Each structure stands twice: as C-alpha cells, then as structure tokens.
Amino acid sequence: MFIVDDVLMAPARGLLWIFQEIHRAAQEEMVNDAESITAELSALYMKLETGKLTEEEFAAEEKMLLERLDKIHKPGRRIR
C-alpha cells in the first residue's frame, strides 16, 4: 500500500520541490540585489568624500538607490 501511495504522490512532491527551488532562487536574487545596492551606496559616499560628486549629484543618485533598496525591503518580502 505504501508503494502505491508513493507513486501517486510523486508528481505532487516533484511540483512542490520545483516551487521551493524557484522561491529559494528568488530570495537569493533579492539578497544579492540588496548587497549590490549597498555596495553602490558605499561607493557613492566615497565619491562624495573625495569630491568626485557634487552634493546635488550625490542626492539624486542616493535617492534612486534608496528607492531601489526600499522596493526590495517592502513589507511582505522576506530577505534572509
């Protein structure tokens, strides 16, 4: 009886595994995006400190990066 159960449940388990892998990959991509944006912010601050950017250029680029970061950290989205 258990063999029949396993055979009947195999497609559902396979589909569940596929969805779990897609979810894992999406979470990993969000984490990588957040880390990338954080690195870009650090580089932006460094450019400001060294005088390679004006305050206005800095503010515009910082705003864009922070908006992207906020989209990643919206409520309901989980990041590891």
- What does the domain layout of the chain look like in residue ranges? 2-72
- The pTM for the full model equals 0.68
State the Cα angle at 66 between 70 and 50, rounded to 5°: 160
Token pair for 54: 């004006």
Assess contact for 69 and 34: CB atoms under 8 A: yes
pLDDT tens across 6-46, in order? 788 888 899 999 999 999 999 999 999 999 999 999 999 99
pLDDT for 46-80, tens place per residue? Answer: 999 999 999 999 999 999 999 999 988 886 655 55
